[in-house]
Structure formats: structure tokens, C-alpha cells
């Protein structure tokens, strides 16, 4: 799928194209719930923990989805096992329709909808996908699911409701949209925002108040989750699942050392806003924050791992592009985010400088160990304005494990053997980092002391 973030995925070359080419007056594209079983089976075969949401089983399930386009009207219809209450509202920039629902188990492959919806070509060509450029669904917060429709053009919500079963049909969620003008759309989106609809969310799945730890706390942050899929490969591998599996394996490895307390920002397929991820690190008084991702690029030859730190100015265009994309995570889940401006007093500035020096130290340590064990990007240390790395007092890096768009990287990322080795390397980098920082890791066994890779006095000043 190229560099397109999955959160706003366009169509891939799909067999469905033929259907679009026919340009029928009414187009019905069905995604069969049975196919979901295939995704689960493939995931199981490669030892993946989660592909279909693994959060608490909800009693209501969605078993199939279809998009119907007729003239100015676009309908997105989910078959359900029960009727539920639905609430829809528009969001501008990017233009979306968000449908809030109680928690629903989506027994539908998460990527198929993106292949079934397709942008119109403009001119006189029929706009086969109607108003929907793509759509996504998944958990938004505990007990709360979302459907998000990315729009091709301004749309008005005609209805968003569930209908009881009829003789021939199961209960259905019907989201009906019709074309409208830009001003009406923006007025409706602004009104929804005033009522706080877009920001509505349950409390984060962050750990509750914990006894202060005498061990250094490491926060691992598997990127994306729930309704925010992250990137995806051409074969349907999804970033949010790959990075969760990696983070859980890494956490087990670090915990088994007995020297660290490890906190995960998520342990299941749930959406966590970026600011909440930062807050988890701050609340835990973390000594290190590692956000874990796996991107895609149009250029399939680009490969290997990259460590990103935060900076005001991006180190290069690629880093800037990636930060932009990762910073859209909240938007992908239908949230409005306002950038909090940073306070710049001298004390905070000193803290920030020290934090960034340690972030660089970890970045260099990780790169020096990773290059002997796994594939590194040709420019493996970069920086940009990642929102998730902005905890003032927590050394933070965003680690891109590799590219889902590169065949070799993808083979690695989906291999349990590779994960075993790679998590071992990362855990070694954590050991080395704390050895350099001289943080008391009380129960360090003599054989576990890692040689100092980078003397502290050589820690570079932050950008």
C-alpha cells in the first residue's frame, strides 16, 4: 500500500476493481464474515497474539459489511447479531464521519474495507465508492467501538441507526450519507466539536496507581491499536498487531531480568491517544520510554530499523514525513487534537536538554548493538517532532523495527524466531543504557553487566 498510512488507506489493486468498472447504478460490495476466520488462521500460524481484537469478548458482533452507492447517496451497512445504539457526527480536516457504538466484536477482516472503497477519478468517470474514500472500525476505548468513514467529498449524515432483523436480514447498522456543500459540512463538524463529541472517550487503559518502584521503570509503547490500525503490508499484515506482539515479548524478556519494572501503554488491541501514552510514562516516573512501530513506504527497497528521537526541526524529509504520519494517530481514531504549546522557562529547558541527551545516548547504544544482530536503515538515527516523545523528563525514542513494505523486513517482522532475537538485542541495549547511566539495578548479576558502549561524557548535546 505504499507510504499511505493505513489510517487513511486508499484502495490497493483489488479484484474488486472489475466491479467498479461496471459502474452499476447500485453497487453492492459485500465482505463476508467467514473470511475473518482466514485472517485468524494465518495469524495463528505465525504465532501472532492478536489480529482480531482480543479485548474482552463483547456480546454484540458485526459479521459482515457492505458499501452501497446509488446516485448522491452512500450507505455503509454492517450486519450485527443484535441492535445497538449508534451515534454519528462529522469531523473536518481530514473530513470524516465518525460513528460511536458500544463495544462490538468485528468478525470482519480489518483491511478488506479499504480495498473495497476507492476514490473516484474525477471528470466524468463514475465515482464508484461514492462519498466514502475508505473506512475503518475497531475498539476506541474500553466498552466503546468506532466506525470511521474517510470522505471523498463533503457529506451529510442522513441517518445512523440500527434496524431490527427482518425476515430476510439480520439486525443491521445503517450509516446513510448524502452529498452536501463544504460550508454545511464544516458547520456541522464545528457544532459536533462544540459538544465535545469528537473528544469523547473513556479513561485510558493506563495502569492504576502503583506503589513506587525502586527499580528503574521502562515504558514500552506499542504504536496504534483499536480503530487506529497503523500501517499495513500488501498481504494484510497490520502494524498495530506486529508491534504489540513485539512489545509483549520484549516486556517478558526485560521483566525476567528482575532489575526493571516494565509498563506497557497497551497489552491488547485498544486505542490509546498519544497524550495518554506520554502521560503513562510521566505517571510511572519512567526512566526510559520506547515507542515501537513498523512503517510502510512506496519505495519497497528501503529497509531496516531506525531510531527516532524528538527535535524541533526534523533531521531529514523522511523523518518529518514519518512524524507527521505518526502524529495523525489520534485523528485516525476520530479525535480532535490541539497541539499544546511548550512552556519555555529556563528550568524546563535544562530538563529538556538533559532528557534529550539521554534519549540520544539510548539511540546510539541501540544502533550500535542492533547493527550486529539485525538490519539497520542506512540512516538509522534520525529526529523529528514526534508528539509521543514529548515527555519533558523521560528519555524517549521511537523505534521503527523495519518496513512492512520491504519483503525481507516483513518476513522478519512476522517471524517468531526473528522476534526472539530482536527483542534480545533491544533488551541488551536497555541493559547497556542503564549501565551507562549508573542507575542502581540492585539485583544485577555480575555476568549481566554490559560493557559501557558510550561513555557518558561523550553524550552529545541535543539538537
- Shortest distance (Å) from residue 429 CB to Zn ion: 20
- Residue 409 or 431: the one with the smaller Cβ distance to Zn ion is 409
Q: Pattern of binders to Zn ion over 212-251, x per CB under 5 A?
A: -----------x------x---------------------
| Interface region with Zn ion, contact rule CB under 5 A, candidates 154-162, 290-298, 330-338, 423-431 | 290-298
Nearer to Zn ion, 90 or 223 (CB): 223
CB 450 within 8 A of CB 431: yes
To the nearest whole angstrom, how small is the minimum distance from the Cβ of residue 224 to Zn ion? 6
Task: Single out the segment in contact with Zn ion by CB under 5 A; choices: 41-49, 185-193, 259-267, 286-294.
Answer: 286-294
CB of 181 to Zn ion, least distance (A): 35
Q: What sign has the CA pseudo-torsion 36, 41, 44, 48?
A: negative
Please give the residue whose beta carbon sits closest to Zn ion in the complex. Answer: 293
Distance CA 453, CA 304 (A): 22
The answer to whether residue 113 forms part of the interface with Zn ion (CB under 5 A) is: no
Which range binds Zn ion by CB under 5 A, 132-140, 178-186, 291-299, 433-441? 291-299
Q: How much is the CA Rg of the chain, to the nearest whole Å? A: 23
Cis peptide preceding 400, ω within 30 of 0: no
Of 189, 398, 381, 160, the residue nearest 274 (C-alpha) = 398
Q: How far is the CB of 325 from Zn ion (least distance, A)?
A: 7
Looking at the Cβ atoms of 293 and 360, the one nearer to Zn ion is 293
Q: How far is the CB of 317 from Zn ion (least distance, A)?
A: 18
Task: Provide, rounded to whole angstroms, the least separation between the CB of residue 298 and Zn ion.
Answer: 16
Stretch that binds Zn ion, among 30-38, 196-204, 274-282, 288-296 (CB under 5 A): 288-296
Sequential DSSP letters for 390-451? --TTS-EEEEEEEETTSHHHHHHHT-HHHHHHHHHHHHHHHHHHHHHHT---TT--GGGPPP
Question: How far apart are CB 294 and Zn ion at their closest, in Å?
Answer: 7
Cell numbers at 431, concatenated: 541493559
Nearest distance, CB of residue 334 and Zn ion, angstroms? 17
Helix, strand, coil share of the chain (percent; to 5): 30, 25, 40
Nearer to Zn ion, 67 or 231 (CB): 231
What are the grid coordinates assigned to 255, written together? 521483566
Residue count at the site for Zn ion (CB under 5 A)?
3
Write the CA distances from 261 to 13, 211, 214, 286, 392, integer angstroms.
Answer: 46, 11, 9, 9, 20
> How far apart (Å, rounded) are the C-alpha atoms in residues 463 and 461?
7
Site string for Zn ion, 396-435 (x = CB under 5 A): ----------------------------------------
Give me the count of residues in the chain. Answer: 463
**Contact pattern for Zn ion over residues 340 through 379, marking x by CB under 5 A:** ----------------------------------------
Separation of CA 132 from chain center: 21
The CA distance from 350 to 246, in Å, is: 34
Tell me the H-state helices in 257-384: 274-283, 317-327, 329-332, 346-373
| Distance spanning both ends of the chain, measured CA to CA | 33
Q: At its nearest, how many Å lie between Zn ion and the CB of residue 239?
A: 5
293 forms part of the interface with Zn ion (CB under 5 A)? yes
Return residues touching Zn ion (CB under 5 A): 223, 230, 293
Amino acid at each position: 500500500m505504499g507510504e499511505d498510512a493505513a489510517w487513511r488507506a486508499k484502495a490497493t489493486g483489488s479484484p474488486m476493481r472489475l466491479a467498479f468498472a461496471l459502474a452499476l447504478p447500485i453497487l453492492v460490495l459485500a465482505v463476508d464474515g467467514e473470511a475473518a476466520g482466514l485472517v485468524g488462521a494465518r495469524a495463528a500460524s505465525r504465532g501472532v497474539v492478536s489480529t482480531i481484537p482480543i479485548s474482552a469478548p463483547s456480546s454484540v458482533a458485526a459479521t459482515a459489511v457492505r458499501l452501497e452507492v446509488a446516485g448522491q447517496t452512500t450507505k455503509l451497512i454492517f450486519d450485527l447479531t443484535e441492535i445497538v445504539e449508534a451515534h454519528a457526527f462529522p469531523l473536518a480536516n481530514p473530513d470524516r464521519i465518525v460513528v460511536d457504538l458500544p463495544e462490538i466484536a468485528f468478525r470482519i477482516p480489518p483491511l478488506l474495507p479499504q480495498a473495497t472503497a476507492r476514490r473516484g477519478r474525477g471528470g466524468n468517470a463514475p465515482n464508484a465508492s461514492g462519498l466514502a474514500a475508505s473506512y475503518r472500525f475497531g475498539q476506541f476505548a474500553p466498552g466503546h467501538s468506532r466506525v470511521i468513514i474517510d470522505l471523498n467529498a463533503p457529506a451529510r449524515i442522513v441517518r445512523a441507526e440500527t434496524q431490527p432483523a427482518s425476515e430476510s436480514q439480520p439486525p443491521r447498522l445503517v450509516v446513510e450519507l448524502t452529498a452536501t456543500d463544504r460550508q454545511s459540512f464544516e458547520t456541522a463538524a464545528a457544532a459536533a466539536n462544540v459538544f465535545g463529541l469528537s473528544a469523547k472517550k473513556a479513561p485510558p487503559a493506563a495502569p492504576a496507581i502503583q506503589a513506587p518502584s525502586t527499580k528503574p521503570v521502562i515504558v514500552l509503547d506499542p504504536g496504534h491499536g483499536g480503530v487506529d490500525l497503523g500501517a499495513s503490508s500488501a498481504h494484510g499484515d497490520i502494524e498495530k498487531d506486529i508491534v504489540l506482539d513485539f512489545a509483549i515479548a520484549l516486556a517478558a524478556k526485560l521483566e525476567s531480568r528482575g532489575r526493571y519494572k516494565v509498563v506497557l501503554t497497551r497489552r491488547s488491541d485498544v486505542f490509546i491517544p498519544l497524550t495518554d501514552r506520554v502521560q503513562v510514562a510521566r505517571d510511572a516516573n519512567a526512566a526510559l520510554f520506547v515507542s515501537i512501530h513498523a512503517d510502510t513506504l512506496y519505495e519497497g527497497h528501503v529497509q531496516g530499523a531506525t531510531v527516532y528521537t524528538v527535535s524541533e526541526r526534523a533531521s531529514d524529509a523522511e523523518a518529518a514525513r514519518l512524524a507527521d504520519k505518526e502524529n495523525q494517530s489520534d485523528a485516525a481514531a476520530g479525535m480532535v487534537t490541539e497541539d499544546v504549546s511548550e512552556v519555555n522557562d529556563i528550568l524546563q529547558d535544562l530538563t529538556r536538554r538533559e532528557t534529550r541527551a539521554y534519549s540520544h545516548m539510548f539511540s546510539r547504544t541501540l544502533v550500535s548493538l542492533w547493527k550486529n544482530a539485525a538490519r539497520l536503515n542506512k540512516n538509522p538515527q534520525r529526529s523529528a517532532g514526534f508528539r509521543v516523545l514529548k515527555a519533558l523528563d523521560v528519555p524517549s525514542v521511537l523505534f521503527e523495527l523495519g518496513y512492512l513494505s520491504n519483503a525481507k523486513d516483513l518476513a522478519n517482522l512476522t517471524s517468531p524466531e526473528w522476534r526472539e532475537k530482536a527483542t534480545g538485542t533491544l533488551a541488551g541495549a536497555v541493559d547497556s543504557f542503564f549501565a551507562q547511566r549508573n542507575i542502581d539495578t540492585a539485583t544485577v548479576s555480575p555476568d549481566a553487566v554490559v560493557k559501557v558502549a558510550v561513555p557518558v561524557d561523550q553524550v552529545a548535546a541535543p539538537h
